[in-house]
Structure 1
């Protein structure tokens, strides 16, 4: 879509939310690693909503849910298969080593 500004804004805001959340939840409320996880989750949700709003500003229906066609699923599979196989091989090797 040739829009680098929307994702950049979402990344910047998510980074700030994550940093502030880490400081508040870990230092002030003593939640430790769980606080860091909650802060990361909150920052990802904020970034997701910002990206959807960026889509809406471009004229797309950001909150619409559609079932992909078989051709679209095939395209997704072609793009994601190498990364999926790499991640699954890493996970399976870790599980094999631990057992």
Structure 2
């Protein structure tokens, strides 16, 4: 098994390609992307978004954006120290 097949299997490679090539330029595309992300967090990750809407994030609502970031921090164990040789933080589900 190669790194390529592992990333493709997990969907991370495909997601990165989509994000790169589908960079939204219109408000409609941006709101659609945000809606997909919030729906994923709510339905798959079971995160209670507590009134956070895609429009809030799109409009730059700082309070709602910070609330979303905090919910992600609470939902995942984010440890920037655990990967000393990587610039990306390690994400692990809290169970």
TM-score by length of 2: 0.30
Q: Per residue, is there more strand in 1 or in 2?
A: 2
Q: Per residue, is there more helix in 1 or in 2?
A: 1
TM-score by length of 1: 0.29
Select the structure with the greater relative contact order (CA < 8 A; seq sep ≥ 6): 1
Structure number with greater Rg is: 1
